[in-house]
Amino acid sequence: MQRYLIDKLKDWLISPSRKPAVLRGARQVGKTWIVRELARQTGKQLIELNFEKKRSLAIHFESNNPSTILLNLESVLNQSIDPKNAILFLDEIQAVPELLAKLRWFYEDMPMLPVITAGSLLEFVLENHTFSMPVGRIQYFFIEPLGFEEFLLAKNEAHLLSAIENVSIEKPLNTAIHDKANQLFKEFVTVGGMPEAVSTWIRTSSLEALSEVHNNLINTYQDDFTKYAGKLSINYLEDVLSAVPKLLTQKFVYSHVDPAARHESIKQALNLLLKARLCHKVQSTSANGIPLGAEINSKIFKIILIDVGLVSTMLGLRLHQFSNIEDILVVNKGALAEQVVGQLLRLLSPFYVEPTSYYWSRESASSNAEIDYLIQDNQRLIPIEVKAGVQGKLRSLHQFMSEKPWKLAIRFYAGPIQRDRIVSKTTTGHSNDYELISLPFYLLGQLYRLLERL
């Protein structure tokens, strides 16, 4: 597989202002593989230490002198380490989180040695650490499951990817290539972006093998619950995790998970899953201006899961039985469509920025309205509607555009590229005039590039 983060890490390797890197992401998104592949592609000696497997290695970091630490490691590993031609990889560092404080000394006293750390449950450490974090001396990289473009590369569809990367609103793909891209996006919705699932699918083309990987990943996450549940019942964590796919597209209400459970227990369980990055919050905002995070309502939010392939499995769907992408994405009231769009929108953030997601909703006695997602494009706020099929009413979008100052909207759907001037009236009789760009789902990763010309 090819991961775009590797190219960013190559730039990081040669940067004169390089700081120790901290990779943040859920379990099984490929953190360890990426570091190993980075070392392989750059010809660097990889000094990999896994503290979950061998916590005793931490004793060699008692000194604050990086030279002493390297001497210790050379002795225990029985190999020479050249700081200029090696990468020191501290994996599963959450097992000995106090070692994060040592990154300061590598940055200040041995800048020629690239240091990378990673940990599956690192978020818990970063929130509750009691040691001195090396603020200003580390750099974060956020890792998500594979995007559609990376999936195409794994499928050896480099030519189709090149065509997608050169699409413009004025020059869309022809019908045959559009249909092929739609079919491959349907495949992506089935497989998802978890590296093991993609690798297994590419290797076997077996739906049974794919289902086994998805179920094993879900079981692995559930097995992890004991590591961070504390006094919280594991049952609550399992209940919330299994409820998320069923509650996609809806405002998340604690009582919808378990009406008999205390709201505080469900809330704590959800917060743990958010920290573990198994779920992501889509926060409600008023959307009157930018930045989007300035007008949030913290009590109103939706939740998406880490990966659409896992959603399909947890819903018990057999997506190969559906003939086209429209049939798949309308399942469960468009839950898969909203999940995959939210998942891929997160990849539009730079690797060094923690992704955030927003939506808009209005609940009133006369009429309810909701915009699935909102993004910021420079000084513009862009509403994004998700329509599972080719057709779909846009009442909420009309309402939103009549109330807000924005004049451009995006619709993701299964149809071809369209550019329309919308003139309509709202339920209150107000006139409405705005531009709507309709894009097929497979262009999600190209959104900001396409917006540059609008």
The tens digit of pLDDT for each residue in 227-272 reads 776 657 788 899 999 999 999 989 999 999 999 989 999 999 999 9
Q: How far apart (Å, rounded) are the C-alpha atoms in residues 315 and 332?
A: 9
How much is the pLDDT for 367?
67
Please say if the pLDDT value at position 322 is more than 70: no
How much is the pLDDT for 365?
58
384 in Cβ contact with 357 (< 8 Å): no
Please say if the pLDDT value at position 424 is more than 80: no
Q: Mean pLDDT throughout 103-110? A: 95
Crossing angle of helices 234-247 and 331-345, in 10° steps, is: 100
Band of pLDDT at residue 17, cut at 50, 70 and 90 = very high
Strand partners for 384:
373, 410
Q: How far apart (Å, rounded) are the C-alpha atoms in residues 336 and 348?
A: 19
The mean pLDDT value of the chain amounts to 91
What are the CA-CA distances from residue 316 to residues 86, 245, 246, 340, 370 (Å)?
46, 10, 11, 17, 27
How much is the pLDDT for 406?
92
358 in Cβ contact with 282 (< 8 Å): yes
Phi, psi at 354, each rounded to 5°:
-70, 125
How much is the pLDDT for 392?
60
Q: Is the dihedral of CA 98, 103, 108, 112 positive or negative?
A: positive
276 in Cβ contact with 366 (< 8 Å): no
Please say if the pLDDT value at position 389 is more than 70: no
CB atoms under 10 Å from CB of 436, counted, come to 19
Spatial neighbors of 371 by CB under 8 A, at least 6 apart, are 287, 359, 360, 361, 383, 384, 385, 396, 397, 400
Tell which residue, 217, 196, 189, 205, has the closest CA to residue 155.
205
How much is the pLDDT for 330?
66
CB atoms under 10 Å from CB of 454, counted, come to 13
How much is the pLDDT for 231?
59
In the chain the domains, ranked by start, together with CATH numbers, are 4-142 (3.40.50.300), 149-451 (no CATH)
How much is the pLDDT for 324?
64
Which H helix or E strand runs over 282?
A: strand 279-285
- Percent of the chain's residues with pLDDT above 90: 73
Band of pLDDT at residue 366, cut at 50, 70 and 90 = low
Cβ-defined contacts of 414-419 (< 8 Å, 24+)? 414/182, 414/324, 414/325, 414/326, 414/329, 414/388, 414/389, 414/390, 414/440, 414/441, 415/390, 415/440, 416/172, 416/175, 416/178, 416/440, 417/167, 417/169, 417/172, 417/443, 419/169
More confident residue, 12 or 332: 12
Q: How far apart (Å, rounded) are the C-alpha atoms in residues 115 and 18?
A: 10
Band of pLDDT at residue 447, cut at 50, 70 and 90 = very high
More confident residue, 211 or 131: 211
